[in-house]
Chain A
Amino acid sequence: MLYREAGQFKSSYAADQQIFPIRQDRIAVGAVLVFAFIVVPLTADQYWLSAILVPFLIFSLAAIGLNLLTGYAGQLSLGTAAFMAVGAFAAYNFLLRVPGMPVLVAFVLAGACAALVGILFGLPSLRIKGFYLAVATLAAQFFIVWALTKFGWFSNYSSSGVINAQKIEILGYRFDSPLSKYLLTLSIVAVLALAAKNMVRGTVGRSWMAVRDMDVAAEVIGFPMLRTKLSAFAVSSFYCGVAGALYAFCYLGTVEPEGFNLDLSFRILFMIILGGVGSILGSFLGAAFIVLFPIFLNSVAGPLEHAIGVKLPAGLMSNLELMIFGALIILFLIVEPHGLARLWQIGKEKLRLWPFPH
């Protein structure tokens, strides 16, 4: 309905292959960016910035990372949180141990460290597939968290194993207010999301999808299995690593390895299942849902008690939340295996074809 595409024709491949070939999409994306970079900073309060938007962005980034691996390359991973942990601790150590290390460089290096670890744990993917691989990634989850807890060097011998993220300073500007952290996170996430989008619509993305859809054929047309899968692990882990660093530096400020537990990995997996496997947009939608939904349930619980005057059993909401999440996962897998992103896609198609149904 809102899409008026008549007259939008492409006279070059460059125009045809741009990220958003439809003008209305470009306008919408522009509007979202304006909203995120200008409207939000002007209107959002601290709570929204630091408790919802920043984690939402960080989880989106992690979800993109997982989506690249699982959604695009078809390699199910349950170790996302561990790669985030690698990123968080690596960034901390780079800043701690290399004098004068710029923060952004540290983030990139943190991603690189996570990528290396990802490659290491991706090696088994050459021989094993499917949930065998999923189980193998659990090894990464448990081992990495254990190693970070166990070897004091990683946490600078902090007695508790907790690390305190250093202050973020870029070109003399201190990022310590929630707003500045939000803008920093937003910028990094926007850039990386764009890069992810570029990758998935380029050769490397096609190589991942090829391996996912039909690995023998992928190899036959010349995608080396080893390099392709490992590149997926590396890039995915890079994203998770950067997300982990942001998680420590822009969100919590202090983290302990146990914070990057299996539960977090599952949470991110849920984001992509609900949001949309194999979709960058889905990563954002899923993250938004998983971040907001519990908060929503939680914040209605108290007022609800007041309103109806009945004391709800302790934990009711939290248990319901678990059940609803579980049920939603199943529901989505049954009804719409491609998640919210597909629903969005369908809605958009409908709008494009409106008033026709097909």
Chain B
Amino acid sequence: MRLLGLKTFRHGVHPPESKDETSGLSIRQFPFAPLLIVPLVQHMGAPSIPVVEEGQEVERGQRIGRPDGFMSVSMHAPASGLVRRVALAPSISGRMVPAVYLEPFPGSTQEIEDGTPCPLEATKDEIIAAIQDAGVVGLGGAAFPTHVKLKIPDGKFVDTLIINGVECEPFLTTDHRVMLEESRDIFTGIRYLLKVTGAERVIVAVEANKPDAAEHLREAFPSDLNGSVEVLQVKYPQGAEKMLFSALLGREVPSRGLPLDIHALCCNVATAAQIGQLLPRGRGIQERVITVTGPAVKRKGNYRIPIGTPLRFLLEHVGVADDVNRVFLGGPMMGAAAPSLEISITKGTSGVTAFTDTAAERTHSPVYPCIRCGYCVDACPIFLDPSMLGRLAASEQFSTMADEHHLMDCFECGSCSFVCPSHIPLVQRFRGAKAAVRKSKAGAA
């Protein structure tokens, strides 16, 4: 769909972008924390099985966890050091998860040893295995194991590969910087992805608020690759996979279906960069680029941060305001609030945003009854009726929500809550309702 010259999807919202403060800052290396806590669940799927023991010394890049089945990936040591413990650690979800407590050796180098490379000439299955072994997951935030997505079942095919450099989430500039600084890796990654998926062409999607990135990628676009860089209108949630498909291809993923059903595949630009970086060198993910920002952060910036860095160390290092009271992993629209500062950075963390009390609008806004203004209806990119869903949720009619109002199609982008003038915590209600529906379904099955 095209509006005012630039492609986009229908509905959506325009939150303040707040990206200017970090978009110009180059990626900087982040120091090691005195203790790194590497959770063995950083992805969707089964936890990795630890292959190290307490007291064992590990090399930076060494595998410390192996995948438990296909729906799982490897973990690698982010630093050379001593395994203090293999025990439970707090996670963003509030639950305790198994983790490896790693104490880096003082002066541990940030240089990385190469492993066995996986060349572009390898077979599809070899590349997929290499991606799983490198521990690659979707770095956009969902942390879905990438190799699972790339395993195309018999009878299905992909004609278009979309590389998602939209980064519509306010405050975050991770992908922006990656596109500017790691374009070579991105295109290498794309070659691997094209090979594995068999797609005919690739589209790199960039939002119009990053003209420098789009320009840079266009210039760097290898002439032998069939594809293009598309600039999209600035609108949230343009970066959601489904929105990209409808904006770029005019195709809609069937309700509760997969992108494969419309012969498309979407991969985050940072994920592509990681694949391009790691596979030729036979390495695993040990660190990632994260935007540390928000009104409460003193030294905002884009940092390459070792996986497992505790949030407390990270914030102390960049400095935060005294009255900070909310920290999210991710951006303010879809990011999850950190339950404590003891949790650590994982592969799925694209940003850390800290707010002070005064900037925290929602804390002080009174909740009014729904006045049926319809803002949410005009915002929902899935064309749901959040107002109705919200009222149904308030009276706990969860099955009606799921059966008649497509509750399960909501992907919690937060657009409805953002625009709601009554400040009704719609997304929160939908999450609760979804959990209740899943529970009752599980109970019934």
Our verdict on whether A and B bind, yes or no, reads: no
Q: Which residues of A does B touch, CB under 8 Å?
A: none
Q: Which residues of B does A touch, CB under 8 Å?
A: none
